[in-house]
Amino acid sequence: MQDFISLYRDFQKLLEKSNKILLLCHRRPDGDTLGAATALFEALQNMGKAPTMACVDTPTERFSFLPNIRKLVKEFDYKTFDLIIVSDAGAHYMTQYHEIYPGIFSGEHVPVSNIDHHASNDYFGTLNIVDPVAASATVILHRIFSFLKIKITPNIATALLAGIYNDTGSFMHSNTTQEVFEIAADLTRKGGKVYPISQNMFKTATPASLRLWGKALENMTVTKKGAAVSVLTLGDFDDSGADLEDSGGVIDLLNAVPGIRFSMLLTEDRKGFIKGSLRTQRDDVDLSAMAGTFGGGGHKKASGFTVKGRIEREMQWKIVSETGENVAEKLLSL
């Protein structure tokens, strides 16, 4: 079992001897990785540090309410920084920066602090603060801020609260523990604003995204083994006028089907990859193990993976990887 108090002290030591600090988000950023980065950005600025936030993908407009979100960059020289902090990345490849800057996570030039809550984390950091029991990376950050007595401003509170809202499905997922409610209460007391979070992240849908969701529901089938499965092809995105980010939320609709073992959404992108998203409400299904079969991972009840391949439309469920493997068939046999 990790000694988190010792890890928090080690993190404090890294902060004390660092000035230029790089804050990395994972690709296709969600509310947790962005909430963590923007919270850290303001906290570090208030400590007199010089932080920089970066992500390979531009966040969607629904996260525009987050403080300093427009200051995210895509490119940088990582060797000019004193410390790199990666939040909510279940593995080193989730940032995609290991491909752009080989050696960025080696620790040879710059120490790397890995703050995460995924069971599949590969402990790629120089310092790894990983707690799979935590509901979100922002929950872990709240613990760290409290331990280090870092002042939580209204902006920081809103950013941390956004991450918690994101990863608990607005307090509806099974990871919504007593600690989650206690932290949420503390953050609202400190000025965290719930309305812009709920309005932007959970109550906003463009006509294009609604058309895309309709196609996903039309494509859905429930297998004999009790899985609700759907696909979204490039043609579905083109027909609905939607972007890849508009598929967010579809998996939760599929997971609402009563009596299923789990739900799966397979989404085709324009780079030749298939992204698989998995969700379940059951305790006897381990989706992290399923996703791990394809090099992915995550949590027991919420996981994902990415494989190179294509969706063959004439055979709806034939999801063919570059090795010719039928991904959907293999997954559903687990």
CA trace torsion 256, 259, 261, 263 (10° rounding): -30
pLDDT at 319: 53
pTM for the whole structure: 0.83
Q: Is 183 exposed, middle or buried (0-12, 13-18, 19+ CB in 10 A)?
A: buried
Joined together, the tokens standing for residue 285 give 């299904």
Fold topology of 4-201:
inorganic pyrophosphatase (n-terminal core) (3.90.1640)
Q: Which of 162, 89, 102, 155 is nearest to 128 (CA)?
A: 89
User: Once rounded to an integer, what is the mean pLDDT over residues 238-267?
Assistant: 86
Q: H or E stretch including 291? A: helix 287-292
pLDDT at 317: 45
**Mean predicted lDDT score pLDDT of the chain:** 89
User: Once rounded to an integer, what is the mean pLDDT over residues 32-53?
Assistant: 98
Beta-ladder partners of 73: 54
* pLDDT > 90: percent of the chain: 52
pLDDT at 327: 59
- pLDDT tens profile 62-81: 899 999 999 999 999 999 99
Domain boundaries, given as residue ranges, for the chain = 4-201, 207-332
pLDDT band at 321 (very low <50, low <70, confident <90, very high): very low
pLDDT at 301: 84
CA angle 110, 116, 122 (to 5 degrees): 70
User: Once rounded to an integer, what is the mean pLDDT over residues 249-254?
Assistant: 85
Q: Does residue 160 register a pLDDT over 70?
A: yes
User: Once rounded to an integer, what is the mean pLDDT over residues 321-327?
Assistant: 52
Q: How far apart are the first and last CA of the chain?
A: 30
Q: Does residue 261 register a pLDDT over 50?
A: yes
Q: Does residue 172 register a pLDDT over 90?
A: no
**Is the distance from CB of 135 to CB of 311 less than 8 angstroms?**
no
Q: Does residue 56 register a pLDDT over 60?
A: yes
Question: In whole angstroms, how far apart are CA 228 and each of 106, 221, 252, 301?
Answer: 40, 6, 11, 14
Looking at domain 207-332, which of 3.90.1150.170, 3.10.310.30, 3.40.640.10, 3.30.950.10 is its CATH number? Answer: 3.10.310.30
Q: Does residue 43 register a pLDDT over 90?
A: yes
User: Once rounded to an integer, what is the mean pLDDT over residues 17-35?
Assistant: 96
- pLDDT tens profile 83-142: 999 999 988 999 999 999 999 999 899 999 999 999 889 999 999 999 999 999 999 999
Q: Do domains 4-201 and 207-332 have the same CATH topology?
A: no
Q: How far apart are CA 272 and CA 239, in angstroms?
A: 19
- pLDDT tens profile 274-307: 888 898 888 888 888 888 888 888 888 888 888 8
